[in-house]
Copies of this chain bind each other. A is one copy, B any other.
Amino acid sequence: MLNFQFSPIAYVTNTRKEPTDDNWGAIISTITLADEIPTIALENIELFSHLEIIYHFHLVGDGNFVYSRHPRGNTAYPEMGILAQRNKDRPNYIGLCTVELVAHDGRTLIVKNLDAIDGTPILDIKPVFKQFQPQSDTKQPAWVDDLTKHYW
């Protein structure tokens, strides 16, 4: 099977040590560039208010997951393929979160609304472009509203 290798470009520091499901809104995270990445990689990033953070669910990863399940195991929700939910037990264990940029100082960013725990390795950081947001109304099933009620 084809393989790609990726290296962390940065790491998360925050007070969330365990991968629990809810209440991420109060967490303020620091993102610090990895030693290999020069400081100029963040130049002028503060011109943007929001960033997309692509990261690695580094505490999971034993490959033992099902490809379809009820989100959070709740049978009141329909059975959904793993690619039709955002659950961490997924092929390649990649997480993605849109965060609010609070501050940029040299090699560090302070961000809000990052749902990644302390020590999480980051694979990429991209600025949010309005033109890359959904260009038409989004539709989602009702279970998403229920599941995310206490997420932030």
Contact = CB atoms under 8 A, between A and B. Distances in A.
Interface string A19-54: 000000000000000001110111111011110101
Interface in A80-112: 80-86, 90-92, 94, 96-98, 100
Contacts of A125: 83
B84 A45 contact: yes
Residue with the greatest number of chain B CB neighbours at <10 A, chosen from A2, A68, A83, A140: A83
23 contacts: A1-B36, A4-B121, A9-B91, A9-B92, A38-B67, A41-B67, A41-B91, A43-B80, A44-B141, A45-B84, A47-B78, A47-B80, A48-B141, A50-B134, A54-B94, A83-B125, A86-B129, A97-B132, A113-B135, A131-B144, A131-B145, A131-B151, A132-B148
